[in-house]
């Protein structure tokens, strides 16, 4: 019998430490580290990094062409905030219009 355990938590909450403890328990336990995967697929020259740069602009890159995660994070959450703000404005104005009907 096999099972899958998902480790989630806030930044610096101890996910990697717990994942290491799991993998140290037995060779049969495989750990899939999404942080490692995301760093691997966004290496300079990768399709993912090309797409990220196309969408967010070259300011998300360091001068050596690698991904500046800190800038990307700021841009990503700013866009998300704007999108949610616009969505909420639209919902509120739609609700007002519906109430008038």
Residues that bind ligand ATP (CB under 6 A): 9, 11-17, 35
Cα gap 75→52, rounded to integer Å: 11
**23 touches Mg ion (CB under 5 A):** no
Per partner kind, with CB cut-offs from 5 to 8 A, the member of Mg ion, ligand ATP, none near residue 45 is none
Q: How far is the CB of 83 from ligand ATP (least distance, A)?
A: 24
Q: Distance between CA atoms of 66 and 79, rounded to whole angstroms? A: 22
- Are the CB atoms for 31 and 22 separated by under 8 Å? yes
Q: Which residues bind Mg ion (CB under 5 A)?
A: 15-16
């Amino acid at each position: 019998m096999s099972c899958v355990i998902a480790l989630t938590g806030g930044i610096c909450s101890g996910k990697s430490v717990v994942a290491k403890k799991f993998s140290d328990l037995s060779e049969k336990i495989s750990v899939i580290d999404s942080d490692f995967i995301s760093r691997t697929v966004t290496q300079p020259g990768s399709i993912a990094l090309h797409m990220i740069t196309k969408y967010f602009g070259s300011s998300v890159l360091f001068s050596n062409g690698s991904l500046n995660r800190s800038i990307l994070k700021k841009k990503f959450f700013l866009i998300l905030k704007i999108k949610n703000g616009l969505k909420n404005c639209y919902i509120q104005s739609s609700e007002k219009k519906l109430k008038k009907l």
